[in-house]
Chains A and B, each alone.
Chain A
Amino acid sequence: MRKIWAVAVNTIKQALRMKIAAVFTVLLLILLPVMGFKMTGDGTLKGRLQTFVSYGLSLTSFLLCLFTIIASIYTLANDLSRRQIYTVLTKPIRRYQLILGKLLGIILLDTILLALFGGIIYAIAVNMPNFIKADEEQLTQVRNEFYTARASLKPAEQDVSADVEREFEKLKKNRQLPNGLEKNLGALRGYKGELRRRIELSKRAAPVGTELLWQFQNVKPQDPNQPLFVRFKYDVAVNPPDLAIYSRWLIGDDRQIRYGTGIKTPIYSIDRKDLIRTFYEIEVPADAVADDGYLVVAFLNVPLNDTVVIFPPEDGLELLYKADTFTANFVRAVILIGLRLIFLAALGLLAATFLSFAVAILLSLSVFLIANTSGFILESFEYVSENISGFYNYIFKSLIELMPQFDKFSASAFLVPGRLLSWSLLAKLALSTVCVKTVLLVLLAMFIFSRREVAKATV
């Protein structure tokens, strides 16, 4: 352990004295405060905070990722190419201990840098209202929507398989299926997929005069005095003339009406007019939730409109409520960035065990880019996958799955909308990126490194 520590300290000295860390530190120290004062977002206090935190954290994360990749590769590749490794490995240190020491050094350095920059961003974000003139309304808004950690509940996905089959049988009976469909398996699958998409859409669509209804269970706000929020976005079949939709919302425990048990908790009725394809939040007092955590949100497409209103999948509608403080959430978001750095440090070391500096950098950057766009890649792959045979499909997908999904779980994706990043989600991510993927990388690095001939010329 003391040997590992000695290597770690040496690695830190290397990164510091070779000015690798300095470049990134200076860059961030200049950029972060500038961003704090120059980025105004949409002009409101909330917009300002969101832009700052989003760009600040993304930049920090990006630069620290680059730093980690470069430093971890440099520390090993340089030892190999400059042959300091000869004098180190002939001392009583095992090769795996060297790898662990270097990893520890990089992680320690990352921790310090991350704490420093996270602290700066936090300090600026928390003090922003003091620097900027904002009215009471804006202050309330940021308190409710930014300085918070809101849990999000999404309507449960409905299983529509039965509906698909029923619809299919009906079409078959009415002889409305295309000719020869049932003989062509591929076409049949495509047809059913289309059918499924249509039925799923219909579950999220409200024609004029009809209503959509979502049931939520287990709504447990942290503080009963804090409001709940229904966050939604409209999509439409036909654009209305002023691009706005009129609506009535009913939020509360609908069992009281349906079973006539008498009204114990209030049911709120709200009339609104909102632009399409834009996020809005409806604030509802927390007493709308029934004692057992049950809540219904209903949307009525009022006859003032003349188009079908659709709630897009994923983010069409969700229920938000404060579940934790901004500070705690911020800390967890920073830890999330830390997980990413640990993974990249292991990746860099692994690459450097068998590749020269330049090639190792190239490989690691590619992995980093793929991890950063994995969502996009997987999504676009969904579209083409129908034409690709199952084998390649499987290989490709599992390769992508092996990488951590940096874009899906980015720190600012939680902090900007004031979303709760729960300990349990963080633990789950830590388990998959660190405990599984990183450990695998490190083991592989140790394996390769203890087998290779370190004195072999790397030209």
Chain B
Amino acid sequence: MEYAVETISLTKIFSDWWGRNKVCAVDDLNFKVQTNEVFGLLGPNGSGKTTTLKMLLGLLHPTKGKALCLGGDATDPKINTRIGFLPEESYLYRYLTAAETLDFYGRLFKLPTKVRKMRTDALLDMVGLKAVASRQVGAFSKGMARRIGLAQALINDPDLLILDEPTTGLDPIGTRQIKDLIIELAKRGKTILLCSHLLADVEDVCDRIAILYGGKIQAEGHVRDLLQRTDKTEITTGHLTHNALSKIEQIMDGEHAEYAVTSPMDKLETFFISIVEKARQQALPTSGAESKTQISDFLTAQAAEKARPAAILDKLVSTSVSSQPSGPAASPQTEQVHPVKTSKDMPADDLLRKLTEDAQPETVSSDREEPVQAQEDEQQAAGDNILDRLTGPSQPKEKQQQKDENGGDSSNA
């Protein structure tokens, strides 16, 4: 079995010019990323994430061990035509314009002029920089540069995408977009290796993660397995009538379950996006990134390329594009389905059925409940005790069944 990424006791020791002062940045690292997997490399600052990626890409030589990408050496042009890389910061030529930047990278892939033009346009559109395409990158804000960096990583429609902290410097919409993009690309059969210390990002998109500390893997596994709590159930619905609610309470009482009923708060992310969306509709001027909330244009552009008989993309795009839902283009971002399949695999299936029968036939959106859990677990992971002490006593709730640290933020059960 060929892995998309494989490291074999990868070790990197930095030493100074005299050979002293050794820093063991990566220590005997072994991990494998399967094809079509979204793999997250987590770890605090200085834990060796970036160093690992650099070795994978051949920018650093391992002191010991081996790093393989797509079954080979990433410096081999045959292999790295299939890799996209977004470095820690977007290191770009400041004197090139946004369009020229993408064009230059496209040329390095020997893309035919037509395809290059098409992808440049589609990518600029996707990252919301179409309006500033002829501005020099040196004049871009950090987030705008980041967006160009991302576009650059996608210019070759890579099979393996390596992202180093993709969301730093991006506004929430950009962050959202990248996450959606990652999910979308994963659906298309691409492999994504990303590293980050923004746990929420990782949790939203990754199938599998490894947590690095001091250059060593401390934990590794499926996000679902690592985070799922089988003793809890979350249900999110639209507005319920008083009648329906009391029926539910009856059922719950019959089950002798402890529960809490509240109306959920909007996540700040959702709120922010809706505000910007409104401003955009009023066509307020901005000199920044346009923050389109859809990523699909680029992908559909690829579909168009594919449709043309001469398109070289045939070979590149592995999954059939026709089966793609045109969803993200048509519907606003926030209703995207998340890949973390927590809700579907919830144990109390019958309970759920009972509930939905009684309630008004509104759609059950799985997206609301999942981020909540995300936050909860995140906070649990980070400094449990302090938060316990701070928030625990101040929010006494009847029928409290959870360690309700995030009670004020959004809660439901």
List A residues at the B interface (Cβ < 8 Å). 2-3, 5-7, 10, 13-14, 17-18, 82-94, 453-456
Contact = CB atoms under 8 A, between A and B. Distances in A.
A87 B87 contact: yes
| Residue among B81, B93, B95 with most chain A CB within 10 A | B93
B107 A6 contact: yes
Contacts of B259: none
Contacts of A90: 57-59, 74, 80, 83, 85
B104 interface: yes
Contacts of B57: 86, 90
A87 B95 contact: no
B107 A87 contact: no
A439 B107 CA distance: 26
A2 B152 contact: no
A95 B87 CA distance: 19
B70 to A, nearest CB: 13
B92 interface: yes
Nearest to B56: A90
A83 B91 contact: yes
Chain B contact residues, majority secondary structure: loop
Given A93-B77, A455-B60, A13 B95 contact: yes
Interface of B: 54, 57-61, 74-75, 77-78, 80-81, 83, 85, 87, 89, 91-93, 95-96, 100, 104-105, 107-110, 136, 149, 152, 156
B95 A92 contact: no
B108 A453 contact: no
A7 B96 CA distance: 13
A83 B85 CA distance: 13
A86 B85 contact: yes
Nearest to B96: A13
B77 to A, nearest CB: 4
A426 to B, nearest CB: 35
B96 to A, nearest CB: 7
Contacts of B100: 13
Contacts of A94: 77
B228 to A, nearest CB: 36
Given A90-B83, A94-B77, A10 B104 contact: yes
Contacts of A91: 80, 105, 108-109, 156
Nearest to B106: A6
Contact of B81 (A5, A18, A92): A92
B104 A14 contact: no
23 contacts: A2-B110, A7-B108, A13-B95, A13-B100, A17-B95, A17-B136, A83-B89, A84-B92, A84-B93, A85-B91, A87-B92, A87-B152, A90-B59, A90-B83, A91-B105, A92-B77, A92-B78, A94-B77, A453-B60, A454-B59, A455-B54, A455-B59, A455-B60
Given A14-B93, A91-B105, A91-B156, 18 more contacts: A3-B110, A6-B104, A10-B104, A13-B100, A82-B91, A86-B54, A86-B87, A86-B91, A87-B152, A90-B57, A90-B58, A90-B80, A90-B83, A92-B77, A92-B78, A92-B110, A93-B77, A455-B59
A14 to B, nearest CB: 6
A84 B54 CA distance: 14
Nearest to B76: A92
B412 to A, nearest CB: 44
Contact of A453 (B61, B77, B89, B93): B61
A91 B91 CA distance: 14
Contacts of A18: 95
Q: Which 9 A-B pairs have the closest CB atoms?
A: A92-B77, A6-B107, A17-B95, A455-B59, A91-B108, A83-B91, A90-B85, A92-B81, A455-B54
A447 to B, nearest CB: 15
Contacts of B77: 92-94
Contacts of A5: 107
